[in-house]
Chains A and B, each alone.
Chain A
Amino acid sequence: MRLLWAVPAVALVLFAAEPGFRLVDVTRQAGISFVHNNGAFGGKYLPETLGSGGAFLDFDQDGWQDILLVNGADWPGHKTRRTTMSLYRNNHNGTFTDVTRAAGLDIEMYGMGVAAGDFNNDGFPDLFITAVGQSRLFQNSGKGTFIDVTERSQIAGHSGLSTSAIWFDYDRDGKLDLFVSNYVKWSEAQDVFCSLDGKHKSYCTPEAYRGSSNWLFHNRGDGTFEDVTAKSGIFDSTSKSLGVAMLDYDHDGWPDLFVANDTQPNKLYRNRHDGTFQDVAVEAGVAFSEDGKARAGMGVDSADYENSGYPGIAVTNFDGEMIGLYRGSQAGNYADVALNSGVGKASRRSLGFGCFFFDANLDGLLELLVVNGHIDDTVRNIQPGVRYEQPPHLFVNIGKQGFYDAAPAVGSGFAEPKVGRGAAFGDFDNDGDLDVLVTTSHGAAHLYRNDLIAPKQSLRFRMVGTKSNRDAIGAVVRVYYGSHYASLMVKSGSSYLSQSELPVTFGLGEQTKVDRVVAEWPSGLTETLPSLSVGRYVWTEGHGAKIDKTKPN
């Protein structure tokens, strides 16, 4: 069976190795000079290996994707410089301007991840920055600035080693709730001395620390949040979570959550429609690897990559463990098809972090991008075959034959080994294809512009909720043309510590028209648009889609 997959996959790699696009590193020319600071001073603190993430968001709602990059900081007692997160405003011409200070975000904190969502439904995305210690919620004033509302929103008082976060409306009341992943119970005071040679301190593995429960905050709608971790059934003190993605695994219209755990079983929280969740990961077959082992889950994304209507799940793991690629089914059961699909073998020697599904070549099939990088900068001394900097994977979807890794073919800059952590996609130049943002540990962030080899058509929707949450997070858009079908969900979170843009982009290849588009809003409303031409649209819940008048550069 494995061989049956391998033969066409190899043939396609040989004869169709042209992925149809290039990812060109435009970081410098775009004016992005961000460099991550993990604060490493030799103390080998666990969080130094983890950060940090980045996001595509349109914070000023000008129709152009801006970029936010989360930063760490020097540890107390070892201060040498001041580093903060960076907010880059899109100049509509392929360049960005650092507006961090003006936006009021030049706040020093040991940041990890970011989740952008309009929790107060004012039309402007707010920011939740996870951190070591107290994570922070920044409310977007709509005037280009952010206000720290951590205290006011009652999110304060939650200290932890928080990692990925996600905005989603779990009770479908039209207000975005917040899920925060936590890794382990770590603080400087609780730091454990771990050593590989018995003399020198090295980074600990998560086994050295107790797990830490994730948090679920319910949006009361008055600017405050209620910690419903306990009563929602999310509380689990054994969790060591790094990544979180939303999906509707049981197709009931209620958002479920997949949480990637490091050395602990992954969690699949089924939404029970009553404000509580039930972990069904074991029953669904996603808790462990195929041989029953709890892997080191890092990043995660979920999407209908087979265009079957059933979302699949990708989870990045430690080197030697392979990516977990779970194929969805109508019954909500999953099977790890990584090996058969060509993703497993290629990722066997990689330590994966950020990952996401996106249609990079606009051919109607979702690619899987994975960034890699080891956690230990001295790994070479212990495992000669493993490097700290590792090249990313760009698995091009070739339909039933699975995937092949086209990273080396899409540009030397992209394939260059790096200590990858966060990854996100967004169409920053509004040219219809999806560009890529990659963050690295204690290194530069990279912005890659997607240049298609030949023009392809795409259909892009910026969904605006009215009864549903304003960002329409959780809305599912389904596109039909001929015998083709594709679906995408408007999502926050996913990947690792990062967030991709909220608009959904369908690649259509040569197709200039689709027969039908259906949107299933979180409010329960289903809206159908007949016969639509390719292009960019703003779709307001209950009012249909209008052409997005933002001019491309």
Chain B
Amino acid sequence: MGKPVTPAHQSPTSRLIAGLAITLAVVGAFCFYALHQIAGLRQLQNQIIESNRKDSLQLLRIQNNLSALGLAIRDMLNGDEPYPLYAWDAQFDRIRKDMTDALRLEAELKPAGENLDRQVYLTRTLSQFWISTDQIFTLARNSQESQARALLRNSLQAQQATLVNAVSRLLVENNETQQRTAARVGVIYDGVERQIYWLLVAALFAISGTSLMLIRANRTIFREIEQLSDQRSGLARKLITMQEELFRSISRELHDEFGQMLTAVGAMISRTRRRNCPPELTADLDEIRAAAQQALDKTRSLSQALHPAILDDGGLEEAIDWYLSVFERQTGIHVDLKKSGVGGELGDEMPIHVYRVLQEALNNLARHSKSAEAWVRVNFSHDRLLMEVEDRGVGLEFEGLEPRRRGMGMIAMRERAELLHGTIEFSRPEAGGTLVRLDVPLNAEQS
């Protein structure tokens, strides 16, 4: 029997709550971290990558225009169009408007400080380009075609090439910025990835810790329950043993003492009557002797009920035979007994418990089954005793494998079976009714 337990003292609730709190805190902290990182990424993408992309689009627009200007300059110099140079004025004007718009948008998109020198350089060079363009078209309009053509060849073409280079450099720088940003984004992603692994480890630890605590607490609880159960069983067995000892002692006392005394009283009355009993007392003496005999019968009967002497004298098998005849007589229920095997040495404890189980099973049968017939099968093998009590009555109501209503009798039967290290089962046979099956080992040491 274990020590008395104080479950409140060892309650795992506080530790479990602490574990849960740690887990939640880890997840919460990570969520905050992840959201923070995502916000940072978004900002990075919006502010740098997106504006960079839009900026590059504008630069491409400018480059596209520069390429159109380059083609136009080439056409102008080729001289295969039958038109004077100023014919290209409208074309240049259209491109100029588009470039001015693109440059304005580009300047708006570019973050302050970045590529500032190159930006200024581009604006200045472009401005110079348009000044030269205006000069060329003015010369062309004033019939100074050859000067205009010379300026076109010597200056504007070179300026166009310079502008193409400047825009290309800006595009390259944008691309580099893009790559740098992509690398930064990569670092952030790596960080987030690492943090996810850390979170996983931390969460794993927290969950494992909490689980271990839970397992430990469970084990403690189960052990305590087991101890309590053992204590209860021990008490029950002790009670049953004590009860049987008490019954046996009372039975013996009744049989030996009261029986002897009442037998002596009867013998003395008989003797008195035979010797010198006046005739007027004969009738009284007979009455007294009858009363003494009745008291003797009652005493014997009570003694048998408390502990059948036949169990000690004739053994279990005879006791069963005797009890079944009594049961049949008292209840009118016919009992069909089948015995097989040979009962060997059963020890001191076993017969009374098996007998009590049979007694309780038949009592239940008589009280509840409404069956007119019962079958009792007793089988001895070299190591087991199997006893079955069966009827075709109303049967027990079951909840799973256990009868729904369990009275003290049933609990006592189970305790007795456990006392004998055996098992007892209650079941409903296919044909209906109730089957009680007691299975006990014969060579087990009795507690």
Residues of A within 8 A of B (CB): 157-158, 210, 213, 227, 229-231, 233-238, 277-279, 282
> CB within 8 A of B81: which of A231, A237, A278?
A237
Nearest chain-B residue to A235 (Cβ)?
Answer: B87
Given the known interface contacts A157-B82, A213-B81, A282-B98, the answer about A229 and B68 at a Cβ–Cβ threshold of 8 Å is no
Q: What are 14 residue pairs bridging A and B, where the CB atoms are less than 8 Å apart in the complex?
A: A213-B87, A227-B83, A229-B87, A230-B84, A230-B87, A234-B90, A235-B88, A235-B90, A237-B72, A237-B91, A238-B68, A238-B71, A278-B90, A279-B94
Nearest chain-B residue to A269 (Cβ)?
Answer: B90
Q: Hey, which chain B residues are within 8 Å of A278, CB to CB?
A: 90
Q: Hey, which chain B residues are within 8 Å of A233, CB to CB?
A: 89-90
Q: Does B257 contact A (CB under 8 A)?
A: no
A158 vs B84: C-alpha distance when bound (angstroms): 15
Nearest chain-A residue to B95 (Cβ)?
Answer: A238
Q: Hey, which chain A residues are within 8 Å of B87, CB to CB?
A: 213, 229-231, 235
Q: Does B86 contact A (CB under 8 A)?
A: yes
Give how many B residues have a beta carbon under 8 Å from the other chain's beta carbons. 16
A229 x B83 contact (CB < 8 A): yes
Q: Hey, which chain A residues are within 8 Å of B68, CB to CB?
A: 238
Q: Hey, which chain A residues are within 8 Å of B91, CB to CB?
A: 235-238
Number of A-B contacts (CB under 8 A): 43
- The 3 A-B residue pairs with the shortest CB-CB distance in the complex, in nearest-first order: A230-B87, A233-B90, A235-B87
Nearest chain-B residue to A281 (Cβ)?
Answer: B94
Contact residues of B between 63 and 96, Cβ < 8 Å to A = 68, 71-72, 75, 81-84, 86-91, 94
Given the known interface contacts A229-B87, A230-B87, the answer about A237 and B94 at a Cβ–Cβ threshold of 8 Å is no
Residues of B within 8 A of A (CB): 68, 71-72, 75, 81-84, 86-91, 94, 98
**From residue A400, how far is it (CB to closest CB) to chain B in Å?**
36
Q: Known pairs A157-B82, A277-B90, A279-B94; list 9 more (Cβ under 8 Å).
A: A158-B82, A213-B83, A227-B83, A231-B87, A235-B90, A236-B91, A237-B75, A238-B72, A279-B90
A424 vs B82: C-alpha distance when bound (angstroms): 33
Nearest chain-B residue to A234 (Cβ)?
Answer: B90
Q: Hey, which chain B residues are within 8 Å of A234, CB to CB?
A: 90
Q: Hey, which chain B residues are within 8 Å of A235, CB to CB?
A: 83, 87-88, 90-91
Nearest chain-A residue to B83 (Cβ)?
Answer: A230
A278 vs B93: C-alpha distance when bound (angstroms): 10
> CB within 8 A of B88: which of A227, A231, A237?
A237
A236 vs B94: C-alpha distance when bound (angstroms): 10
Nearest chain-B residue to A238 (Cβ)?
Answer: B68
A238 vs B91: C-alpha distance when bound (angstroms): 8
A279 vs B95: C-alpha distance when bound (angstroms): 11
**From residue B54, how far is it (CB to closest CB) to chain A in Å?**
13
Q: Hey, which chain A residues are within 8 Å of B71, CB to CB?
A: 210, 237-238
**From residue B332, how far is it (CB to closest CB) to chain A in Å?**
91
A154 vs B98: C-alpha distance when bound (angstroms): 36
A325 vs B72: C-alpha distance when bound (angstroms): 32
Q: Hey, which chain A residues are within 8 Å of B81, CB to CB?
A: 213, 237
**From residue B74, how far is it (CB to closest CB) to chain A in Å?**
10
**From residue B441, how far is it (CB to closest CB) to chain A in Å?**
85
Nearest chain-B residue to A213 (Cβ)?
Answer: B81
Most buried by B among A227, A231, A237: A237
A234 vs B88: C-alpha distance when bound (angstroms): 9
Nearest chain-B residue to A157 (Cβ)?
Answer: B82
**From residue A28, how far is it (CB to closest CB) to chain B in Å?**
45
Most buried by A among B68, B81, B90, B94: B90
A158 vs B82: C-alpha distance when bound (angstroms): 9
Q: Hey, which chain A residues are within 8 Å of B84, CB to CB?
A: 230
**From residue B62, how far is it (CB to closest CB) to chain A in Å?**
16
Most buried by B among A158, A230, A231, A279: A230
Q: Hey, which chain A residues are within 8 Å of B90, CB to CB?
A: 233-236, 277-279
Q: Hey, which chain B residues are within 8 Å of A238, CB to CB?
A: 68, 71-72, 91
A235 vs B72: C-alpha distance when bound (angstroms): 11
A248 vs B68: C-alpha distance when bound (angstroms): 30
Q: Hey, which chain B residues are within 8 Å of A282, CB to CB?
A: 98
Q: Hey, which chain B residues are within 8 Å of A279, CB to CB?
A: 90, 94
Q: Hey, which chain A residues are within 8 Å of B83, CB to CB?
A: 213, 227, 229-230, 235
Q: Hey, which chain A residues are within 8 Å of B82, CB to CB?
A: 157-158, 227
Nearest chain-A residue to B76 (Cβ)?
Answer: A237
**From residue B428, how far is it (CB to closest CB) to chain A in Å?**
69
**From residue B103, how far is it (CB to closest CB) to chain A in Å?**
16
A458 vs B207: C-alpha distance when bound (angstroms): 88
**From residue A90, how far is it (CB to closest CB) to chain B in Å?**
40
Q: Hey, which chain B residues are within 8 Å of A229, CB to CB?
A: 83, 87
A1 vs B68: C-alpha distance when bound (angstroms): 39
